[in-house]
A and B are shown apart, each in its own frame.
Chain A
Amino acid sequence: MEPLRRLVQVIATLVTNGYFLFPQSKNIYQGPLKIVCSPGLNCYSCPASTTYCPIGAIQQLLLGLRFSLETGAYYFGSYVVGSIGLIGAFSGRITCGWLCPFGLIQELLYKLPLGKKREVVYPLRYVKYFMLVLFVFLFPLLLTNEWGMGKPWFCKYVCPAGTLEAGIPMLLLQPELRATLGLLFYNKLLWMLVFIGWSVVTSRPFCKTTCPMGAFYGLFNKISVVKLELVEDRCTECGACAKVCPMGIQFNEVVGSPECIMCMRCMKEACEFGAIQLTCGGHSMSAPQRISRKKQILTEE
């Protein structure tokens, strides 16, 4: 399953960043595909990006809401929230595990055999909800300047994906931009370096602690159409699922956890008893596998 997931991650990254003419044009893609929502966190100012980033788009719409209302336009962000809401309500946080380019980058960094691997302190996982509510929705909407315009707080002050995928490439493509560099850029560069370094020793630290998109999708993990479910009478509570989980959770103890990115490693690599199943609309999509193992052990006992 892991090679398949990696292949899907790479394909998704190439599709959402498929504008390979940018070295010639020295600009970002400006075609019609940018009306399509990127399912994962992918900066739309990245020169290769072919889709729009919902986190960036929602902030842009909210920061200019007063202006758009004055002109008679009702741009509340419902198209953007509707798009990611449909993705989340259908498949929960599966996007994080299978389609997110920044998730892929973190996973590759974690594979480097450097430093002692460690887990994040649990309370830090709540920071992402703070980011979603304040930095993505409330601050851009409420903290405005004298002309009634807000700022894209998350993109401007935090998002390391924007610096890595867009800030640095744009500085290379358009050298004249270097004259405008200041504290803002160095702050973002610092965040990027923190998350890159952190990703080497901790699995997906940005997804666990800071990603507002993951926080949003995670809200649907319990009720999404596609989800992982526990077959309780097959679970022996051996804890094997926790050992392979990149998000550091024990599936049988927190079924439907907003932390689960549905990478399915627990289901395919760890559980010998078929206790974890992928379901779609309540119907199991997993082939019955190794179920007899528990029966065999129970018989032996």
Chain B
Amino acid sequence: MKKSKKNTRVRLATLVPLFVFLALFLFGINAGEPQRVLEQAWNICLDCIGIG
């Protein structure tokens, strides 16, 4: 009985972050964030590479 409870807790601890991050990921897509990320990634970030 105890082992079964522990297993359920372990499974929850594994699944909850997956669903939370999936929700965040989908929220980001819904907000149009991928397009913004793409625009950033297409430009050379001079700040990021130490130039500028």
Q: How far is the CA of A231 from the CA of B12 in the complex (A)?
A: 21
Query: Interface residues of A: mostly helix, strand, loop or mixed?
Result: helix
Secondary structure type dominating chain B contacts? helix
Please judge, given known A-B contacts A60-B40, A73-B31, A86-B25, whether A170 and B45 are in contact too, CB under 8 Å: no
A80 engages B37 (CB within 8 Å): yes
Q: Inside 8 A of B24's CB, which chain A residues have their CB?
A: 78-79, 81-82, 85
A28 located at the interface, meaning its Cβ lies under 8 Å from any Cβ of chain B in the complex: yes
In the complex, number of A-B residue pairs with CB atoms less than 8 Å apart: 152
| A163 on the B face (CB < 8 A) | yes
Residues of A in contact, count (CB < 8 Å): 57
Taken residue by residue from 1 to 42, chain B's Cβ proximity to chain A (1 for < 8 Å, 0 otherwise) reads as 000000100110110011011111111110111101110111
Contacts of A234 in B (CB 8 A): none
How many Å lie between the Cα of A78 and that of B52 in the bound state? 28
In chain B, what residue has the closest Cβ to A188?
Answer: B50
Cβ-defined contact, A45 with B22, below 8 A:
no
Taken residue by residue from 223 to 247, chain A's Cβ proximity to chain B (1 for < 8 Å, 0 otherwise) reads as 1110000000000000000000000
Q: Closest Cβ of chain B: how far from A285's Cβ, in Å?
A: 15
Q: What are 18 contact pairs spanning A and B, CB under 8 A?
A: A28-B42, A45-B44, A52-B37, A75-B36, A79-B34, A79-B37, A80-B33, A83-B25, A86-B18, A155-B48, A156-B47, A162-B50, A166-B49, A167-B50, A184-B50, A223-B14, A225-B14, A282-B10
The list of the 6 closest CB pairs from A to B, nearest first, reads: A79-B28, A82-B25, A85-B21, A188-B50, A82-B24, A155-B48
Contacts A35-B38, A184-B51 given; 17 further ones with Cβ under 8 A?
A28-B44, A45-B49, A52-B38, A56-B48, A60-B45, A73-B31, A77-B28, A78-B27, A78-B31, A79-B28, A81-B21, A86-B22, A171-B51, A181-B51, A185-B51, A225-B14, A225-B18
